[in-house]
Amino acid sequence: MTDAAAHLLEVDLTDRTVEREPVPERWLADYIGGKGLGARYLYDRLDAGTDPLGPDNHLLFALGPLSGLLPGETQFAAITRSPLTGTFLDSYSGGDFADALVGAVDGALGIAITGRADEPVVLELDDGEATLSPAADLWGRDVVETCEALEGAVACVGPAGENRVTYATIASDGGDHHAGRGGAGAVMGAKRLKAVVARGTPPEPDPEIAALQETYKRRYRETDVGRWHAASATLETVDFADEVGVLSTRGWQEGSFDGASDIGIEAVREAAIDRERDGEGVVGGFRVETDAGESVPRGGTPMSLGAGLGIDDFDAVAALGGTCDRLGLDVISAGNAVAWAIRAAEEGVVDPAEMGLDADARPAFGDREAARETIEAIAAREPGVPDALADGVEAAADRLGGADLVPTIKSMEVPAYDPRGSPTMALAYATSDRGACHRRSLPAETEVFGEEWDDADRVEVVLREQTITATLWSLIADDFAGAVLEDDLGAEWLAAVDAVAPTDPAELLRAGERIWTLTRLFNVREGFDAADETLPAAFERPVSGGPADGRGIDAGWFDRLRRRYYAAREWDENGVPSQGLLDRLDLLDVVDGETPVAREPVTQ
């Protein structure tokens, strides 16, 4: 995809209209596409305080200037204001739907959806044309049933999205892929948009691009990341995290899981029936069979639904992941929600009779059936504890008690990489623009191997990784094959397609910093500041077991580290970007009067 016909398809569900909205050339030059384009669009279109589940929120299915061309899996970005956190949200998903979307929008950079339909609808995209069709007969169906009922590549919501569970996903390819964290599926469900159907094929690359594809596929296969992904994909992370002492276990009480090998990569290989995209140069995840049908578990599945819940049987863990997939629930948040329910019952915070379980059941770590029933009750918003947890762990704790049992940051449940074994992860989680997230920066991959990092090193690693991912996710590169772009940030590719975006690596890195700063401005306008980036109490408590046994994180040290990060970002002590930074990044004419701007950055 090139920038030659830069526009978005704007769909108003209230008025049932579809228009082509030109994308300003400066937006493409400064923000590239994907995450960056979505950040600029949302900052321009949303008023502060817009209800994430109201008709005025916008939901983008965004592409980038290289969508359908880059090696690896084609992806799209679901971009909106998060109903879980209230922050800017970008969540990514790949597979057949993403491929079809590139062809179906006929040169557009994606679709932007606003309003609310008066009845459930399906949006169908075909050769640049968009139509809306009634979908009342699909409402209530799970993800697999919905995808099977529609002709074409499908992205949809399951019952969790329909019921506005704030960590509902947008699922595609029968639940094999999800735009997962932050609740984009709840936004889609609130708009009564059951599904988006894409019918299209990406254009055939010209010989120059085809040669570039083969070169980059070969380079990727030869990288450490490429070899690791081919051998194990993300499902080896449970083995890694357990070995180095960063595996959150049994509701954040322990740092090592004695059943890790039973749910780790060897168990996956034994259970797998094939791999996604096998034979296409960059393989995908492991496909396994469960009682409810085939499933493609990712690394978060055994970490959050296995170790996090004390379940050491891979078939049971894969089945729980399949349950989340069919209902359209983020596995990380769902696992944390169940863990909170178990701990809250143990501590006497909640009555087990209000858990949505069978009358004689009591939730417990290691109990797969109770976990499944709790997940299903949350997706259905059954009264009591499940309904509270459908709004997230933090919201449930505010309503019922038990605030310090399971950590959240900006209301988002924390992934299973425990920062008590990798302290820099605490900074990465706290400063992530969408709430606790390991995909913006994952210093645990290197910090745990004994490198002598000081606080300046920690800040530099997190800042650089966040900035680079902001650039790569504006290209919407494959999460893993995108690693081969890190040397020049896609400059060679952008030059090959004659893109409006910069073709100089230094300018692309600057664009990443600009995009990261703009998402910060969006969040600051929504009222977020340093108070939302403090250390969760759970991380101050010493962890039990594993290589990090006895370690906790000192809150005073963390506050100093965060201040150092703010200084490096040129933000003030409240985390507000400074006027000098905005001037340097050409953002002064972008920032509006509702957004606080700092006079001077904080000093270290």
CB 194 within 8 A of CB 122: yes
- When divided into structural domains, the chain yields a total of 3
Q: What mean pLDDT is predicted for residues 234-238?
A: 88
493, 579: one domain = yes
**Residue 118: per-residue pLDDT:** 97
Question: How sure is the predictor about 499, in pLDDT bands with cuts at 50, 70 and 90?
Answer: very high
**Residue 198: per-residue pLDDT:** 97
Assess if residue 244 is contained within a domain: yes
Q: What's the whole-number average pLDDT of the chain?
A: 94
Q: What mean pLDDT is predicted for residues 19-48?
A: 97
Own/partner long-range contacts of 566-570 (Cβ < 8 Å, ≥24 apart):
566/530, 566/601, 566/602, 567/601, 567/602, 567/603, 567/604, 568/459, 568/460, 568/463, 569/463, 569/517, 569/520, 569/601, 570/601
Q: What mean pLDDT is predicted for residues 574-588?
A: 98
| Percent of the residues in the chain that have a pLDDT greater than 70, as a whole number | 98
Q: Which residues does residue 12 pair with via DSSP β-bridges, in sequence order? A: 17, 114
**Residue 299: per-residue pLDDT:** 86
Give the whole-angstrom CA distance, residue 253 versus residue 307.
11
Q: What mean pLDDT is predicted for residues 160-170?
A: 98
H helices of 232-299, where? 237-244, 260-263, 265-271
**Residue 5: per-residue pLDDT:** 61
Q: What mean pLDDT is predicted for residues 106-125?
A: 96
246, 381: one domain = yes
- Tell me which of 449 and 423 has the higher pLDDT: 423
User: How many degrees, rounded to 5, is the angle at CA 463 between CA 476 and CA 337?
Assistant: 70
400, 455: one domain = no
Which helix H or strand E contains 393, and what residues bound it?
A: helix 393-400
- pLDDT over 60 at 3, yes or no: no
Q: What mean pLDDT is predicted for residues 475-485?
A: 89
**Residue 517: per-residue pLDDT:** 98
Number of continuous H segments (helices) and E segments (strands) in the chain: 25, 17
CB 474 within 8 A of CB 35: yes
- Tell me which of 290 and 31 has the higher pLDDT: 31
Q: What mean pLDDT is predicted for residues 19-31?
A: 96
117, 91: one domain = yes
Give the whole-angstrom CA distance, residue 538 versus residue 475.
36
Question: How sure is the predictor about 366, in pLDDT bands with cuts at 50, 70 and 90?
Answer: very high
Assess if residue 491 is contained within a domain: yes
443, 397: one domain = no
Assess if residue 470 is contained within a domain: yes
**Residue 471: per-residue pLDDT:** 98
408, 504: one domain = no
Assess if residue 62 is contained within a domain: yes
Question: How sure is the predictor about 1, in pLDDT bands with cuts at 50, 70 and 90?
Answer: very low
- Among candidate residues 167, 30, 172, the one with its CA nearest the CA of residue 93: 172
Give the whole-angstrom CA distance, residue 43 versus residue 45.
6
Question: How sure is the predictor about 356, in pLDDT bands with cuts at 50, 70 and 90?
Answer: confident
- Among candidate residues 192, 169, 47, the one with its CA nearest the CA of residue 123: 192
**Residue 443: per-residue pLDDT:** 95
DSSP result, 504-522: SHHHHHHHHHHHHHHHHHH
**Could you list the residue range(s) of the whole structural domain that residue 324 is in?**
230-413
For residue 294, report the phi and psi dihedrals to the nearest 5 degrees. Answer: -70, 150
Q: Cα 90 vs. chain centroid, distance in angstroms?
A: 7
**Residue 385: per-residue pLDDT:** 95
Assess if residue 223 is contained within a domain: no
Q: Cα 451 vs. chain centroid, distance in angstroms?
A: 28
- pLDDT over 80 at 601, yes or no: yes
- Tell me which of 523 and 71 has the higher pLDDT: 523
In whole angstroms, how large is the CA radius of gyration of the chain? 22
Question: How sure is the predictor about 368, in pLDDT bands with cuts at 50, 70 and 90?
Answer: very high
Assess if residue 327 is contained within a domain: yes
CATH number at residue 386: 1.10.569.10
Residues in the chain: 604
Question: How sure is the predictor about 359, in pLDDT bands with cuts at 50, 70 and 90?
Answer: low
Which residue carries 């893993």 as its tokens? Answer: 480
The residue from 356, 383, 413 where one domain ends is 413
**Residue 278: per-residue pLDDT:** 57
280, 131: one domain = no
Please report, to the nearest 10 degrees, the dihedral formed by the alpha carbons of residues 337, 339, 341, 347 taken in order: -140
State both tokens at 294: 């085939």
Give the whole-angstrom CA distance, residue 511 versus residue 523.
18
Q: What mean pLDDT is predicted for residues 404-410?
A: 97
449, 510: one domain = yes
CB 431 within 8 A of CB 562: yes
36-45, 286-295, 311-320: range with lowest mean pLDDT = 286-295
157, 264: one domain = no
Helix (H, G, I), strand (E, B) or coil at 129: strand
The residue from 413, 437, 458 where one domain ends is 413
CATH number at residue 432: 1.10.599.10
- pLDDT over 90 at 315, yes or no: yes
248, 329: one domain = yes
State both tokens at 603: 């000093």
Whole-angstrom CA distances from 163 to 57, 189, 194, 391 are: 17, 7, 12, 11
403, 451: one domain = no
CB 248 within 8 A of CB 308: yes
Assess if residue 383 is contained within a domain: yes
Own/partner long-range contacts of 508-512 (Cβ < 8 Å, ≥24 apart):
508/32, 508/471, 509/467, 509/468, 509/471, 510/585, 511/30, 511/31, 511/32, 511/36, 511/471, 511/474, 512/467, 512/468, 512/469, 512/470, 512/471, 512/474
398, 257: one domain = yes
Helix (H, G, I), strand (E, B) or coil at 30: helix
The residue from 413, 446, 467 where one domain ends is 413
Give, as one character, the DSSP assignment of residue 420.
T
State both tokens at 556: 């005073």
Q: Which residues does residue 195 pair with via DSSP β-bridges, in sequence order? A: 122, 156
Question: How sure is the predictor about 2, in pLDDT bands with cuts at 50, 70 and 90?
Answer: very low
State both tokens at 220: 């990727």
Assess if residue 591 is contained within a domain: no
CATH number at residue 77: 3.60.9.10
**Residue 590: per-residue pLDDT:** 97
- pLDDT over 80 at 149, yes or no: yes
Q: What mean pLDDT is predicted for residues 498-512?
A: 96
For the segment 242-293, what is each residue's pLDDT rounded down to a tens digit? 999 999 999 999 999 999 999 999 988 888 888 877 556 677 788 888 877 7
Non-local CB neighbours of 459 within 8 Å, separated by 6+ positions? 427, 561, 564, 565, 568
600 φψ region: left (φ > 0), alpha (ψ -120 to 50), beta (else): beta
